[in-house]
Structure 1
Amino acid sequence: MKRAVLYMRVSTVDQNPETQLHDLHQMAAQRGYEIVHEYVDRISGTKAKRPGLDQMMTDARRGRFDVVMVWACDRIARSTRHFLEVLDELSRIEVEFLSFRENIDTGGPLGRAIVVIIAAIAELERGLIVERVRAGMRRARLEGLRIGRAPLTLDREAIRRDRCHGRSIRAIAKEHGISTATVQRVLKDPPAPPT
């Protein structure tokens, strides 16, 4: 018997997940699944942090169940991209995904084909984003714009002088607006020969 979990999300605290629960319990009974846990989030679908979903994914990684059941795909993800990421991770850790409304079941051959198609679309989207970023960087370079952080200008002699006067590395870093690691690196480097 497969161990199943139910994930439900309602957008506001006054909404009730009972409708979703009823349909999912019925579907689990028809398939002979044992429901081992129910995760519920009462939060907008656009929110990145959802305690129920986060806990469900943690439990999935720990192998605590075999199937995730949702009432509809839009219940589990805040965007198409997020949905693809969740499906991809579930597929990678060999957890099946079932959606009541869309009738998606990644346990069968058609469901696995849908996951492959979805993964290909996600990869295409990632590739297009990378290409857009590269094109933007090329354009910025052609326009003479700096890409990345400006080079750090250090008064190495002042840093060494401050240290010789007994100032702490942290105080020197704060005064010069640099990290303590940079101060330590400057102190390790030999001073430049006089010109």
Structure 2
Amino acid sequence: MDNYEKDPGRRALQTRDFLLSFQHAISATERCPIPVIAAIHGAAIGLAVDIATACDIRYAASNSSFSVKEVDIGLAADIGTLARLPKVTGNQSLVQELAYTSRNFGASEAKEIGLISKIVEGGREEVVKAALETAKVIATKSPIAVVGTKRVLLHSRDHSVADNLEYVASWNGAMLQTADLKSSVQAALAKKKASYPPLGKHFSKL
């Protein structure tokens, strides 16, 4: 037997490292500078809820169902659901009910509690189409403004109003120098759609 098999402490450390790596992977959508839209269809169970809660926008097909399933297999949901779902829904009591019972809930309840923002009639094809339509709208906006908005919104989730106001002041203090601002104003005055250059190459934050 190697040290991993013989020693509980070593097993615990390796398990912890694995879980932290897994959490980091699932959190990639949060670290992605541009918004990520989840198009949910069918059964979203356990890990699927972890992934969905890390996305910026969540749509669900009318055939969707959800379950925080981990308690049924003898563990606490450890990849993101228990950290994010209370913030997403703003209802600690409900999240605790869902996590303790692992009961299924449908798209209507998911929208009611704020887990998703739109129910799309149909299945995979329809919800993916709806997500792509929203993505196309976002893609017409200033990428500087979109990236900044995502960062400020994520910051606001975990900080006080005062801290977030200071953060956005510092952010815009730098980002208001962008030519996108002038392009947006000129396009609005001319009643035309603005055109923005791509962000270009930058180091991945994932």
Question: TM-score scaled by structure 2?
Answer: 0.25
Name the one with the larger helix percent.
2
Q: Which has the higher contact order (CA 8 A, sep 6+)?
A: 2
Question: TM-score scaled by structure 1?
Answer: 0.26
Q: Computing the radius of gyration over CA atoms, which structure comes out larger, 1 or 2?
A: 1
